[in-house]
Amino acid sequence: MTAELVRGQNHPLPRTRLEIRVSAGTPVVAGASLADEQGRVSGADRVAHPGSPTLPGIEVSRQAAADHRLAVDLEALAEGVHRVNVLLALPPGTPGPSRFAAVAAPFVAVTGLDGTEIASYTITGLGAETAVVALELYRRQGTWKIRANGQGYAGGLVDLLADQGLPDARQVAAEIQDAITLGVARSVAAPPPPASDGARVGAAGPGASGGPAPGAAGPSAAAPRQGVGGGGPVNYAHPRRQAGTPPPPAPAAPPTNPSEAARPVAGDATGWSLDERLYNQVWGMFEDLARAVAAYRSAVDFADARMEQELDRALADPRGRLGAAGDQAREQARAKREDLVARAREVLDRELAQLTAESDVVEPALPPAYARWDNPVWHGYRVPVELPMALRLGDLQLPEQPGLRIPMLVRLPLERGLWIDSDRGGSEAAAFMDAEQIKGLAMDTAVAVAARLLAVYPAHEFAVHVIDPAGSAAARLAPLARSGVLAAPPAAGAAGVAEVLARLTERVDLVQMAVRGGAGADALPPGMDTAEQLLIVNDFPHGFDDRALNQLRYLADEGPSVGVHLLMVADREEARAYGPVLQPLWRSLLRLTPVPDDHLADPWVGHAWTYEPPLAPPGSRILEQVLGQVGEARAGWPR
């Protein structure tokens, strides 16, 4: 079964001789760049394009066309090549669309030489971009994988190649343009696809919907992205994803000597910086664990089904159901089942041991934005001068290895709001707590998340507002209030709710108008805070009238795109009186829980992952220490 990738997702490559097929609906230039272990392209001799279509291990089309076939032999690549980037660009200087938003979403498929499709990716979400990195083929721990990239560049091939570190990016882009101008890369009709791919072209070709819903996601998206109201599972499924579970990769043969297993190294993934390499490595661990457990569960299901079939055959004759013959048939079927499960578990344990070893070296190396509160890196914390790629919002686990915790990373800035569910029936653990206890834990989780956001933003680039209509969370909010990081004291009562919502709604309106008009920050009213804004809402819907409710929904929908984010602490049952009017609000937010709960699903095999909130260890003062530094930096920031 083909793996239908979403942006940021990777997939193992079972073979090294491949064909990459591109369908774009309009003539595009296809090329490839060959990068080193750090992801940098050293020179023009590492870029295959229509003017120079053949390099060791790679051959691209000589023409701009609506359909392309690129040949790849990973074993024949030049020494030092660790990544192959597949590039697409609109032909410069020719009639036709001037940006990817004006054409159907390009579709890319990776196949074996026999035409068997391995993975596919529909590149959605492009706008003013004229060049895009469609796919990456890269090495990880000695094996090749594919990642759906989808990074676009409005500046075209010049910006794309320069971003990959190519010293003479402008010259190479000019060579490509010259090749097109001279007719070397003239547009031609697309070659007919193989008959076996007819359904694929029709279902997933140009114009088909695709891409992540994402945290987001994600892993870029990666990061969990799409919430479902009513406490249901988070749906990360690709819109065109087949209903069945994709087959996990075949496990590698175990080394004859355990000491020969690859020793994990922190930051061994691809990326421009250590921050990005660690981010990609964490997502690689997440995917590897998902697929390893999927393989084990699939093997158990197969063993159960086989045992049932053997029992049905052996006991079909009523005369053989009783006595020694029936007992022997049952025992043999069970023994075969146990043997299959034991072998599957042996493979799983081997992979879990490798992932655990990798986690043991990666976790201590994580920067503050990715680290748990108990990581010693927080004791050397300093307010950053630039925003990191992502933020850790907790941990994810699977029951096959509860001790292996994978960081749940979401990209920054946040693309959607967060909802801390204070419903006592929202999870098995919460069901045994009283209502006030679970609400208190939910507020503690909100404070911990807000503290992490404040800690990773540069001074004065992130502001926090609080709505606490009844003042019930004053004690829980004390770490934020005492450190001076709040933009204003928590708003109470209906008047306070209305004032905060009106101010933030106006900010969203003004920034949206400025963006649509192409104006800069100087066009905004004097004194307007241009920092990212976070609104913490406690005890919803207490203190909210119909107008305030509509404003809250507006902030949830429109705020993230202009730097206004929502963090709600709410029990959905308490808002039941509003009926379906709140359904869009719950769906727009990523649901988190204040106690461990298995309610998040991965985008590949749909495992129910147990989410653990990012609370500081009991008795620890690290959260207050970090907030104190943030407060001091904000107080010293020039107004």
More confident residue, 435 or 628: 628
pLDDT in tens, 191-237: 333 333 333 222 222 222 233 222 333 333 333 323 323 333 333 33
The answer on pLDDT for 403 being more than 50 is yes
User: Cβ neighbours of residue 383 under 8 Å, at least 6 residues apart?
Assistant: 455, 458, 459, 629, 630, 633
Q: pLDDT category, 262, cuts 50, 70, 90?
A: low
pLDDT in tens, 296-318: 988 888 888 888 888 887 777 66
SS3 of 122, please? Answer: strand
CATH number of 3-204: 2.60.60.30
Overall residue count recorded for the chain in this entry: 639
The answer on pLDDT for 31 being more than 70 is yes
The answer on pLDDT for 143 being more than 50 is yes
The rounded distance, in Å, linking the Cα atoms of 611 and 296 is: 21
**pLDDT the model gives residue 159:** 92
More confident residue, 262 or 278: 278
**pLDDT the model gives residue 261:** 56
The rounded distance, in Å, linking the Cα atoms of 582 and 589 is: 11
CATH number of 416-518+527-628: 3.40.50
Token pair of 129 as six digits: 């971009």
Task: Give the closest residue to 75 by CA, choosing from 136, 139, 114, 17.
Answer: 17
Q: How many CB atoms lie within 10 A of CB 527?
A: 6
Q: How far is CA 434 from the centre of its chain?
A: 34
Mean pLDDT of 543-550: 92
pTM over 0.95: no
Report the mean per-residue pLDDT for the chain.
Answer: 82
The rounded distance, in Å, linking the Cα atoms of 85 and 34 is: 6
pLDDT in tens, 565-615: 999 999 988 888 888 888 889 989 999 999 988 888 776 677 889 999 999
**pLDDT the model gives residue 366:** 95
Beta bridge partners of 59: 54, 71
Task: Give the closest residue to 496 by CA, choosing from 464, 538, 468, 463.
Answer: 468
How far is the CA of 547 from the CAs of 27, 544, 554, 617, in angstroms? 50, 8, 11, 40
Q: Count CA within 13 A, CB hemisphere, residue 294.
A: 22
Q: How many CB atoms lie within 10 A of CB 402?
A: 10
